[in-house]
């Protein structure tokens, strides 16, 4: 039997949809942290990432995170 190391994890529910506003079409979203029930509506990717990082810590420092370092 092979046992794997358990890493801390978080689950999120994410919903994205399109809305028409001021003659344009924009995407909007809603996210929920499954364990706490905390939710957030957003229209910018940066707001989505801020919400996720509030529950996980900075994503760039996560084990195995992909970074865009010049190489």
Per-domain residue ranges for the chain? 12-58
Task: Quote the pTM value.
Answer: 0.70
5-45 confidence digits (pLDDT tens)? 666 789 999 999 999 988 899 999 999 999 999 999 999 99
Residue 21, classed as helix, strand or coil, is strand
Measure the N-to-C terminal CA separation of the chain; round to a whole number of Å: 39
Residues in contact with 41: Cβ distance below 8 Å, sequence separation at least 6, in sequence order? 28, 29, 30
Q: How confident is the model at residue 49, as a pLDDT?
A: 93
pLDDT band at 54 (very low <50, low <70, confident <90, very high): very high
Does the pLDDT of residue 52 top 90, yes or no?
yes
* pLDDT confidence of residue 14: 97
């Amino acid at each position: 039997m092979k046992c794997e190391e358990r890493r801390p994890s978080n689950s999120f529910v994410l919903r994205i949809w399109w809305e028409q506003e001021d003659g344009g079409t924009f995407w909007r979203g809603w996210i929920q942290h499954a364990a706490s029930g905390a939710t957030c509506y957003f229209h910018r990717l940066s707001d989505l990432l801020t919400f996720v990082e509030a529950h996980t810590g900075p994503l760039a420092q996560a084990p195995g995170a992909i970074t865009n370092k010049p190489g």
